[in-house]
Amino acid sequence: SSSVVEWTQSPKEKFSRGADRPSNYEAEWDMVTTVSFKKKPHSNGDATAHANGESKWSFLFSLTDLKSIKQNKEGMGWSYLVFCLKDDVKLPALHFHHGDSKLLIECLQKHVVLNESPQDKRILLVNSQNKSLSQSFENLFDEPSYGLLQKLKKDPYTVTMGRFSKVTNYIFDSFRSSDPSTQRRPPSEMADFLNDAIPGLKINQHGIHTLYLHVFQIDLGKQPEVSRREPVSAEEWAKNMDAEGRILNVAYIKQSIFKGGLCHTLRKEAWKFLLGYFPWNSTKEERANLQKRKTDEYFRMKLQWKSVSEEQEKRNSRLRDYRSLIEKDVNRTDRTNKFYEGEDNPGLILLHDILMTYCMYDFDLGYVQGMSDLLSPVLYVMENEVDAFWCFVSYMDQMHQNFEEQMQGMKTQLIQLSTLLRLLDSGFCSYLESQDSGYLYFCFRWLLIRFKREFSFQDILRLWEVMWTELPCQNFHLLLCCAILESEKQQIMDKHYGFNEILKHINELSMKIDVEYILCKAEAISMQMMNCKELPQAVSEILGMESSSVTPDSDTGEDESGAMLNCPTSLYQSISTPVIAANGSRDSTQQMSETQSLTPA
């Protein structure tokens, strides 16, 4: 990591193209006479004049910053090299008037791997993987001992696994050959490699995926059996209301909905409570007054875009763009559902008008592709423009970060999902990383529109109302992702799926997932974590759990004393979590969003 390349022009003589050159011309240049391992400050390709008076064309850079080398030949045997660094800085060309630039290349090849570019044979690409392992071990201890010890005491699992992953990521990358002519190295060779690299570390030859299991692996215990109940009926709902229309036992109602969902006739009323449009402690009269005020407010906003003339819209590009995108998406959203099928369908008109009005409500966000997917089931259940709008507003309050330009919400959720999955099954996580799938971008669509494209329309109504109860923990939707991935793990690993196969397999799960099975499995995972006495702090924060575990009853949600478990007041509390590395993360997220197209079916 401390290797540097230094080029300085000889102070003895300076030559031009037409000058007579002595036979020892090459010797007059201090041409990378050393590729040293001394600690030396460098300027990442800074070609400015040095303090010691050397030529302004002198430069110095670290080998770790080198991206590629371009080789060129000119007439009379004259050749030159151009170094390109990772930040796309190109250094001044090095001219070899007598050729022999290969000597410099051979010198560099002792320290970096150079591969010929398949697109341009003149370009040598730097493959720095051979330095990754030693650098990873250096970085394990790259901060003061006191700070590292404090972090280890606070959360040993996260600190150790986070740092050790630097090593294992290299191991999987280096042993999974990218060269088609090179065969994959056997597990026994990988184990031997690790035992040589890390003195005292004993790793068997039955598979490198067991590596994580030997390092601070937390035993979560067996997943408990979980059963679900019948949906909450209209009669059961009515019994939990007093004479003025207040809900008597909110915790019981939420728990009942979580365990069984709602009968369809009850959804129109209950969803308004679950989404926060109606306060749980409100009376029937208070709700009627609220609806009246919200109706007036809605139509005032609707009038704003309805009254914009064509001339005005010509001068408002954002409104024009919002309208154009909404019209395209509305015409492709859930058209197989009877509520939206056919031409000039009233449901499509309402879908369009609500989305346009939302642009007036939140003009900064406006409309982003995927939002029609979130509104469609809400409008289908409400069958009322105003109620559907305000329920959609409440839902978007939860989902807002998913659709913001920086997509910070998506990045955070993908990191949180990776943290949960690594705790559940570090071996599977390591396998995904070995197949360039460790960032879980194939889950992008699941998170962006809350599984809308993965389940049937009726199943998504059940799934969403269960999630809206905010039970049994915060970010329950991430546990649903874990449940689906855990169900597919065996096939993915047994068939040795690579990046493309994993993406294809996950996409093809659409409409094939059993919603009741996944809800049971996700609940079992949540209970498994609640029962864990050594749950890492990072996981506790993601799920909104206290450090001390409470054992819940699988059917009632009560602990052994009979007290209801405390539930977070917000579905998605902001978690202070590092974002995906800036090096290409935005592009990668965008690329995956395009791969998993959100074009409405």
Give tens-digit pLDDT for 121-133. 889 998 755 444 4
- 30 three-class SS: strand
Q: What strands lie across the sheet with 59-62, from one edge to the other?
A: 30-36, 4-8, 59-62
Q: Which fold has domain 263-398?
A: Helicase, Ruva Protein; domain 3 (1.10.8)
**472: closest CA among 409, 526, 542, 391?**
526
Residues with Cβ within 8 Å of residue 8, at least 6 apart in sequence: 30, 54, 55, 58
Give tens-digit pLDDT for 373-389. 999 999 999 999 999 99
Q: Please state, in angstroms and rounded to a whole number, the distance separating the CA atoms of residues 550 and 530.
A: 6
What is the distance in angstroms between the CA of the first residue and the CA of the last residue of the chain? 51
Note whether 575 and 412 are within 8 A (CB).
yes
Give tens-digit pLDDT for 319-331. 999 999 999 999 9
Q: What's the pTM?
A: 0.61
Is the pLDDT score of 4 beyond 60? no
Residue 103, token pair as written in the block: 């000597």
Q: Which fold has domain 131-140+188-245+407-545?
A: Cyclin A; domain 1 (1.10.472)
Note whether 71 and 57 are within 8 A (CB).
no
Is the pLDDT score of 457 beyond 90? yes
Of the listed ranges 241-250, 460-469, 563-572, the least confidently predicted one is 563-572
- List the helix and strand counts (H, then E) for the chain: 23, 8
Sort strands 30-36 and 4-8 into parallel, antiparallel or unpaired: antiparallel
pLDDT band at 7 (very low <50, low <70, confident <90, very high): low
Of the listed ranges 73-87, 519-533, 565-579, 584-598, the least confidently predicted one is 565-579
Largest CA distance in the chain: 107
Is the pLDDT score of 399 beyond 80? yes
Q: Please state, in angstroms and rounded to a whole number, the distance separating the CA atoms of residues 87 and 204.
A: 41
Note whether 57 and 47 are within 8 A (CB).
yes
Q: Please state, in angstroms and rounded to a whole number, the distance separating the CA atoms of residues 234 and 237.
A: 5
Q: What angle do CA 381, 384, 386 make, to 5 degrees?
A: 120
Q: 3-state SS string over 38-96?
A: CCCCCCCCCCCCCCCCCCCCCEEEEHHHEEEEEEEECHHHCEEEEEEECCCCECCCEEE
CA distances from 371 to 60, 115, 377, 591 (A): 51, 46, 11, 19
Give tens-digit pLDDT for 161-183. 444 444 444 444 444 444 444 44
Q: Report the pLDDT value the prediction gives residue 555, as an integer from 0 to 100.
A: 47
CA distances from 435 to 28, 208, 493 (A): 49, 14, 10
For 25, counting Cβ atoms within 10 Å of its Cβ (0-12 exposed, 13-18 middle, 19+ buried), the class is middle
Give tens-digit pLDDT for 18-66. 444 444 433 333 333 333 333 344 444 444 444 444 555 677 888 888 8
> Mean pLDDT throughout 484-507?
96
Ranges of CATH 1.10.472.80 domains, the chain: 131-140+188-245+407-545
Ranges of CATH 1.10.8.270 domains, the chain: 263-398
